[in-house]
Amino acid sequence: MCGIVAGAFQDNVIPFLLYGLKQEEYRGYDACGIGFLEKKEIQIVKKIGRINSLVEKVQNLKGNIGIAHTRWATHGKNTENNAHPHMSMHRIFALVHNGTIYNYKEIRTSLMQKGYVFYSQTDTECLANLLEYEYALSGNILEAMQQMQQRVKGTYALCILNKEEERIYFMKKSAPLIIGIGKQGISLSSDIRALEQQDFSVDLDEEEYGYITKENYFIYNQNQRVTKKEKPIQKNRFQKKEISMDCYMKKEIFEIPYILENILKKYENGFSAEIINLFSQASKIVFIASGTSYHAALIGSQYFSIPTEIYFSSEFITEERKIHSDVLYVFLSQSGETMDVLKALEFVLSHKGITLGIANVENSTLLRKTQYSLQMHAEAEVAVASTKAYCAEVLLLYLLAKYDKISFCKENILLIIREIKEHLKNVESIENIAEQLKEKEHAYFLAKGKDYFLIQEASLKIKEVTYLHSETLYAGELKHGPIALIDEGFPVFLLGNKENNEALLSAREEVEARGAVTYFMTYDAKQDLGFLPLMTDFFLLAFYLAQKKGCDVDKPRNLAKSVTVE
Ligand code: F6R
């Protein structure tokens, strides 16, 4: 989703901003833009579409103080006017924003009554004008920002240019923002990845604000200056280094065995006493997650011997929801920044629930806010479609469920890893299926019982990267309606156990009799985690089909790597 990068540098900051935007590209976006200071004027360049077209427009420009943004359209269509940075009406401020302003209509109306003119449909533009308005009243930017903080309802990471000063102001609430410190100058970003060229980072906490200059940074909380620990920035973390591949999705699928081996090594001697206590004392575990992480929770929760419940994070907060002190609330998220997950977490924390966060991204908001946290250790996942993180999540939940007998399970896990390696060596049959699906518009995925959780993930992956419309069904439900769609050549995937699959076989006959092309995929359900090699096949199928259809595999349309809006 939206990405921010900003810098106050001794030299030209524009190459750094472009590099940062490129690093944030994986998050998904529709438009991009840069704003910088030039002789006490703010210059802005915006482009719809890819960063490369912005590069062409700005590569010969120079400025030492600048802000940049990738926009994933929410409020208003994908137009240059709606792209960031947004300028205040009298061109005093320009700002970039991640997050959502809930009361923007009310602020906008009241500013319009004061004579302000708006040029975009975004919630962000009201912040630029509100800041200008407050600044006109107080004559002090930090004070104006505090006024704005009180007036605005919503979430934001903001970087602000003021045409008079060689500074970048910032504010943060419920959206990530990090300061970078390096020899070239000081920077800000919503994503540590954009700060790789810097040496140290400082995480900003809720409701902090302040400014950076070329030499220093100043953080405040309720008018008090705050000092914080600087952490060294790890370099080259996100390069396609271990396995060289043409795109991240493929690379990440091929990394699955190595990631699983790594996770096993990390946790084969068990978990900390603190984590074990959490699981041994809970009367129930409630898993909360979204998308692929939700699918991993559905399947991983099966291994626990105590009762479990699994919720979509976006559906967790209801008026009736009760939070219980003997329940463990586990939040599962690759990014650790998914807004729906963080909202559900806020809800549980506000009702004094016990929370454990499991995320892949080190230092993510989820890992910082839950009382207990575990890192997934799936290494950086860049492709928008989550593949290796799904496998990592499933394995981690399995290990947590078996925390007292991991050594007994180790052999089986290693066997599964070997099987995945074998599947990755034999991709030809998967490529062939992809070839057959190239011209299709719809597909069904059928399963029975808990295998339904697996086809949910397989179908999601196909849908998101190949745009093939796919639907999941319990095999027995087919004849109660959905079979009406089956005609000559309709692809139907059937997923099940190697044995006891009569119901699937009869579903196959029913659809084949009506001309469907069927793909019967089985796994050994007697082995714990025996489905993982099969899931790897589905991930590969999604990848090859997307590639054959000429789709942008790593950055599917309309999608974002971390969904930071509700
Ligand atoms: C699908 C996918 C999404 C994410 C979902 C949650 O391939 O990537 O469905 O799984 O947006 O993201 P995290 O796990 O970062 O909370």
User: In this structure, are 258 and 407 located in the same domain?
Assistant: yes
CB of residue 288 inside a 6 A radius of ligand 1 = no
Quick one: angle between helices 388-401 and 406-425, nearest 10? 160
Secondary structure (3-state) at 469: strand
77's tokens: 């269509």
Q: Is there a domain that residue 566 lies in?
A: no
Candidates 46, 47, 448, 561; catalytic one: 561
CATH of the domain at 153: 3.60.20.10
Q: Residue 293 Cα, ligand 1 centroid: separation in angstroms?
A: 6
**Residue 566 to residue 564: CA distance in whole angstroms:** 7
User: In this structure, are 404 and 488 located in the same domain?
Assistant: no
CB of residue 162 inside a 6 A radius of ligand 1 = no
Secondary structure (3-state) at 310: strand
User: In this structure, are 430 and 458 located in the same domain?
Assistant: yes
At 320, give phi and psi (nearest 5°).
Answer: -80, -15
CB of residue 364 inside a 6 A radius of ligand 1 = no
pLDDT of residue 236: 65
Residue located nearest, by CA, to atom 7 of ligand 1:
385
**Residue 521 to residue 504: CA distance in whole angstroms:** 10
Q: Residue 348 Cα, ligand 1 centroid: separation in angstroms?
A: 21
User: In this structure, are 308 and 409 located in the same domain?
Assistant: yes
**Residue 323 to residue 347: CA distance in whole angstroms:** 9
Residue located nearest, by CA, to atom 4 of ligand 1:
291
pLDDT tens track, the chain, 566 positions: 789 999 999 999 999 999 999 988 877 788 999 999 999 999 999 999 889 899 999 988 999 999 999 998 888 888 999 999 999 999 999 999 999 899 999 999 999 999 999 999 999 999 999 999 999 999 999 999 999 999 999 999 999 999 999 999 999 998 899 999 999 999 999 998 899 999 999 999 989 999 999 999 999 999 999 999 999 998 766 554 445 567 899 999 999 999 999 999 999 999 999 999 999 999 999 999 999 999 999 999 999 999 999 999 999 999 999 999 999 999 999 999 999 999 999 999 999 999 999 999 988 899 999 999 999 999 989 899 999 999 999 999 999 999 999 989 999 999 999 999 999 998 999 999 999 999 999 999 999 999 999 999 999 999 999 999 999 999 999 999 999 999 999 999 999 988 878 889 999 999 999 999 999 999 998 999 999 999 999 999 999 999 999 999 988 888 878 787 77
> Position of tokens 């977490």?
345
pLDDT of residue 241: 47
Q: Where is the domain boundary, 409, 425, 441?
A: 425
Candidates 2, 32, 126, 391; catalytic one: 2
CB of residue 335 inside a 6 A radius of ligand 1 = yes
Q: Where is the domain boundary, 388, 406, 425?
A: 425
Q: Is there a domain that residue 558 lies in?
A: no
CA distances from 139 to 156, 225, 365 (A): 23, 20, 34
Cβ–Cβ contacts within 10 Å for residue 514, how many? 15
User: In this structure, are 123 and 253 located in the same domain?
Assistant: no
CATH of the domain at 464: 3.40.50.10490
Residue located nearest, by CA, to atom 11 of ligand 1:
291
Q: Residue 81 Cα, ligand 1 centroid: separation in angstroms?
A: 29
CB of residue 334 inside a 6 A radius of ligand 1 = yes
pLDDT of residue 243: 52
Q: Is there a domain that residue 556 lies in?
A: no
pLDDT of residue 76: 87
Q: Where is the domain boundary, 408, 425, 442?
A: 425
Q: Residue 295 Cα, ligand 1 centroid: separation in angstroms?
A: 10
User: In this structure, are 249 and 390 located in the same domain?
Assistant: yes
Q: State the closest ligand 1 atom to the C-alpha of 461, by its place in the atom list counted from 1.
A: 7
User: In this structure, are 312 and 328 located in the same domain?
Assistant: yes
Q: Is there a domain that residue 438 lies in?
A: yes
Q: Residue 382 Cα, ligand 1 centroid: separation in angstroms?
A: 12
User: In this structure, are 86 and 195 located in the same domain?
Assistant: yes
CB of residue 386 inside a 6 A radius of ligand 1 = yes
Q: Is there a domain that residue 405 lies in?
A: yes
CB of residue 360 inside a 6 A radius of ligand 1 = no
Cα dihedral value 486, 489, 495, 498, nearest 10? 120
Q: Residue 425 Cα, ligand 1 centroid: separation in angstroms?
A: 27
Q: Which residues does 522 contact at the CB level (< 8 Å), separation at least 6?
A: 495, 496, 497, 498, 501, 534
CB of residue 562 inside a 6 A radius of ligand 1 = yes
Domains contained in the chain, number: 3
Q: State the closest ligand 1 atom to the C-alpha of 289, by its place in the atom list counted from 1.
A: 16
Query: HEC profile for 1-47?
Result: CCEEEEEEECCCCHHHHHHHHHHCHHHCCCEEEEEEEECCEEEEEEE
User: In this structure, are 368 and 470 located in the same domain?
Assistant: no
CB of residue 290 inside a 6 A radius of ligand 1 = yes
User: In this structure, are 432 and 404 located in the same domain?
Assistant: no
Q: Is there a domain that residue 565 lies in?
A: no
Q: State the closest ligand 1 atom to the C-alpha of 292, by its place in the atom list counted from 1.
A: 10
**Residue 160 to residue 148: CA distance in whole angstroms:** 13
Q: Please return the burial class of 39, using the count of CB atoms within 10 Å of its CB with bins 0-12, 13-18 and 19+.
A: exposed
342 Rama sector, left if φ>0, alpha if ψ -120 to 50, beta otherwise: alpha
Whether residue 2 lies in the annotated active site: yes
Cβ–Cβ contacts within 10 Å for residue 512, how many? 13
User: In this structure, are 420 and 435 located in the same domain?
Assistant: no
CB of residue 313 inside a 6 A radius of ligand 1 = no
Residue 276 belongs to domain spanning: 242-425
